[in-house]
Amino acid sequence: MLRSEPNVKTWSRTWRAAILVAWILAAALLAAIFPAASKEEVNRATLVPDSAPSQVAAARVREAFPASSGTPAILVFADPSGISSADWSSIRQAVRELRAHPVTAQTEVPPLDALPPAAAAGFASSDGKVVSVPVLLRADASQDQLNQAVAEIDQVLRRTAGAQALERAPGDPGLHVYVTGPAGIAVDATHLFQHADLALLIATTLLVLALMMVLYRSPILALVPLVSVGIAYTVVSSLLGAWARYGGLTFDAQTVSILTVLLFGAGTDYCLFFIARYRQELRRHARPSDALRAGYKSTAAAILMSGLTVSVSLLSLLAARSPSFHEFAIPFSLGVFVMALVAITFVPALIGSLGRAAFWPRIPRYEPDSPEAEQPGRISRWLGRTAVRRRTPVAVLGSLALAACCLALPHVRTTYDLLSSFPSDMPSREGYAVLAAHESPGALAPVDVLVEGGNAEAAIRSIQSLASVQKVQLVASRHDAHEALLQVELRANPYSEAAMGALPSIERAAVTGASAGGHAARVYVAGETAAQADTRSITARDTRVVVPMVLAAIGLLLLVYLRSVVAPLYLLATIVLSYGAAMGLGWLAVREVLHQPAMQGTIPLYAFVFLVALGEDYNIFVMSRIWEVWRRGQARSAVERGVADTASVITSAGLILAGTFAMLASLPIQVLLQFGVVTAIGVLLDTFVVRPWLVPAITALLGDAARWPRRT
């Protein structure tokens, strides 16, 4: 904790100026020397660790059949009236150019241009309206190389089929061309995240500015959080960029998008907590510098503790195996911690330099004798009074209300379907829809099955007998090594739950068939479906590991800060209950309002870490005020005054934090949309149920026992 008595010279004019200049120079120098975080994003084609079974299998396939393994970009040529001779000419010309001038990371293209018409017809659908051509790219190609390859393929298609073929709306007559498959989907997904960053930054800035104007009606004050967040964001972005370039840190565009929202939400909250207390002190002190010292003394420790709690919680994600969680840890924890440092140094210096003028046109006057000077607002006093005097019904009804929302949890459906998380008008998804309608859904990303030893032909027959399989073909074989690479085309969308559910039976059938006759055989299963299945199992493992770590870390910090064994227990219990309610209500919103059949499988863990950390954020502020007043009075009066003093500012902060996370719902990416909705709901529950009612009521019920074993 910070020292309880600041030095007499603390926050003098010279001291304030030095802090402001130091932060501005630090931000400017870091931005000039190091790259921004957005310049160092590593957007990989897969987010599965190398140790996962699908990646071990993929490495084994690359080793055994380097020319036949890779990430396919599937070129889909479609004509509603049937592929004409002119269309075939364009298709052959495109393939000829790709074979003569390979694009980045290209390894193989079938020689369709050199085949006779009868053989080339094998690439067409049975109705003759679609032709699909796979362009194989290196399996170890980075996301940047995939981006470059697809951009070069796009240029080839524009030269050979015409720009209009790539731009026609679905249903229009003429030739339509799409680039889909795992490579096309990965590239489109990356572009979605990259193009969303600027729009998200602008929208969040305008939202915070508007909410601050409505809440405080001061144009000057409304700019304080924006300037503070801007300083923190510049510093954090530069530090992350430097760490990524020189220290090997990795993060992707999704991390940068959420980091923007997190800094705006947390930063604005921290600013509000200090501003609200400073405004109160201005009515009690004639000199703004005295008000600044008094306000700082009562808020700095809580802000720093709050930032530390959130940072440590997010740092627990380092224990996750999934890169989609693991890579969040350092950027988010560093961002929040720097934002907390800005809030307890730069913000007081800036506000102190502005003095009373910061609140123009509603300037708080020095009114030490006014009965209103020491009193919170009427509604705030009513909240505190009701939470204490009606503590038993408030605690019971609040708990039951949250528990009722949790009843939807058993009905939550999760999915790891990558395609469903993207807009339906995304080119690669449109291409998949055409491919699935005229061929087989599984043609988008066949399952690779590597058979070592045994009878490959028997394995093919065994796999083909499965109801989930459309067809099986032998792609390559090495008789000397007794190895064969099979491609299994499923009847279902390869990113769907049904496809993942089919993998165990495919592996068993391959082993059974290959081992027939007493032959020893080993089978490896790779491909997009296998990677999705690994993502599902690793996410379940990460949830089992990270959740108790987050709870233990927050509980320990609360124990140290509050010096109580009892309080951390019920604070954690209420926030976990709030999380369950947020997930239940979030699922209802996803299903009934957004009309989406399932929630992305990573959302529950994402939401848990953020909601538990940010929820305890508010608990720390209200409990620190209750503890402060408790030293001078009894438990119930301390709870009543603590709630009244913090009600207005936490409500304002909660609305802004919920609003900033809700901005994620404006993005055309389902995982961010759903995360934004669930997190915003959780923040609102903490703001309007847990913090003003449930926590105070439980504290009042427990009385002195809430502080056990602390006595002072």
Count of positions (residues) in the chain: 712
Burial of 41 per CB tally in 10 Å (0-12, 13-18, 19+): buried
For residue range 331-379, what is the model confidence (pLDDT) as tens digits? 999 999 999 999 999 999 999 998 888 888 888 887 776 655 556 778 8
The one-letter amino acid at 24: I
For residue range 615-629, what is the model confidence (pLDDT) as tens digits? 888 888 889 889 888
At 524, phi and psi to the nearest 5? -120, 140
Give the model's pLDDT for residue 652: 86
* Contact predicate 161/79, CB 8 Å: no
* Contact predicate 218/278, CB 8 Å: no
Query: Residues 71-81, buried b or exposed e (16+ Cβ, 10 A)?
Result: bbbbbbbbbee
Tell whether omega for the bond before 427 is within 30 degrees of 0, i.e. cis. no
Neighbours of 446 (CB within 10 A): 24
Q: How far is 239 from 35, CA to CA, in rounded Å?
A: 9
**What is the full DSSP assignment across 378-405?**
HHHHHHHHHHHHTHHHHHHHHHHHHHHH
Burial of 630 per CB tally in 10 Å (0-12, 13-18, 19+): buried
Average pLDDT, the chain: 89
Closest by CA to 509, choosing from 468, 462, 474, 473, is 462
Give the model's pLDDT for residue 587: 96
Biggest alpha carbon–alpha carbon distance for the chain: 98
What element of type H or E holds 702? helix 695-702
For residue range 237-249, what is the model confidence (pLDDT) as tens digits? 999 999 999 998 9
Burial of 491 per CB tally in 10 Å (0-12, 13-18, 19+): middle
Q: How far is 268 from 653, CA to CA, in rounded Å?
A: 7
Q: What is the mean pLDDT of residues 569-579?
A: 94
Give the model's pLDDT for residue 370: 63
Q: How far is 703 from 388, CA to CA, in rounded Å?
A: 10
Q: Which two tokens stand for residue 596?
A: 């989406």
Give the model's pLDDT for residue 617: 81
What element of type H or E holds 307? helix 288-315
Q: How far is 90 from 98, CA to CA, in rounded Å?
A: 12
> 708 or 200: whose pLDDT is higher?
708
Q: Which two tokens stand for residue 160?
A: 């050979």
Q: Which two tokens stand for residue 456?
A: 């490959």
Tell me the angle at which helices 253-282 and 219-247 cross, rounded to the nearest 10 degrees. Answer: 140
Sign of CA dihedral 357, 362, 365, 368: negative
Burial of 85 per CB tally in 10 Å (0-12, 13-18, 19+): exposed
Give the model's pLDDT for residue 246: 93
Residue whose tokens read 């085949």: 115
Residue whose tokens read 């720093």: 304
Is 60 exceeded by the pLDDT of residue 255?
A: yes
Give the model's pLDDT for residue 46: 60
Is 70 exceeded by the pLDDT of residue 595?
A: yes
Q: What is the DSSP letter of 492?
A: S
Q: Which two tokens stand for residue 662?
A: 């809700």
For residue range 492-513, what is the model confidence (pLDDT) as tens digits? 989 888 999 999 999 999 999 9
Angle at alpha carbon of residue 589, lines to 583 and 592, rounded to 5° = 135
Q: How far is 709 from 484, CA to CA, in rounded Å?
A: 68
CATH 3.30.70.1440 fits 70-188, yes or no: yes
Strands 130-137 and 447-452 turn out to be unpaired
* Contact predicate 353/288, CB 8 Å: no
Q: How far is 106 from 138, CA to CA, in rounded Å?
A: 6
Most confident of 40-44, 292-296, 403-407: 403-407
Tell whether omega for the bond before 173 is within 30 degrees of 0, i.e. cis. no
**What is the full DSSP assignment across 50-66?**
TTSHHHHHHHHHHHH-T
For residue range 76-130, what is the model confidence (pLDDT) as tens digits? 999 999 999 999 999 999 999 999 999 999 998 999 989 998 888 889 998 999 9
Query: Residues 408-431, buried b or exposed e (16+ Cβ, 10 A)?
Result: beeebebbbbbbbbbeeebbbbbb
Compute the half-sphere exposure of residue 119: CA atoms within 13 Å on the CB side of its CA: 8
Q: What is the mean pLDDT of residues 402-424?
A: 88
CATH class given for the domain over 376-423+542-712: mainly alpha
What element of type H or E holds 137? strand 130-137
**What is the full DSSP assignment across 426-437?**
SHHHHHHHHHHH
Provide the residue ranges of all domains of the chain, joining segments of one domain with +.
70-188, 376-423+542-712, 446-526
Q: What is the mean pLDDT of residues 137-141?
A: 85
Most confident of 185-189, 581-585, 639-643: 581-585
466 phi-psi bin (left φ>0, alpha ψ -120 to 50, beta other): beta
CATH class given for the domain over 446-526: alpha beta
What element of type H or E holds 76? strand 71-78
For residue range 147-160, what is the model confidence (pLDDT) as tens digits? 999 999 999 999 99
Q: What is the mean pLDDT of residues 671-682?
A: 92
For residue range 691-707, what is the model confidence (pLDDT) as tens digits? 899 999 999 999 989 98
Give the model's pLDDT for residue 49: 86
In three state form, how does the secondary structure of 662-675 look?
HHHHHCCCHHHHHH
Is 70 exceeded by the pLDDT of residue 8?
A: no
| 70-188 matches 446-526 in fold | yes
Helix, strand, coil percentages, rounded to 5, for the chain:
70, 10, 25
Q: How far is CA 441 from CA 299, 426, 473, 496, in A?
A: 58, 17, 16, 10
Closest by CA to 60, choosing from 460, 484, 534, is 484
Q: How far is 25 from 459, CA to CA, in rounded Å?
A: 67
User: What percentage of the chain carries pLDDT values higher than 70?
Assistant: 96
* Contact predicate 264/229, CB 8 Å: yes
Residue 5 pLDDT class (50, 70, 90 cuts):
very low
Give the model's pLDDT for residue 712: 52
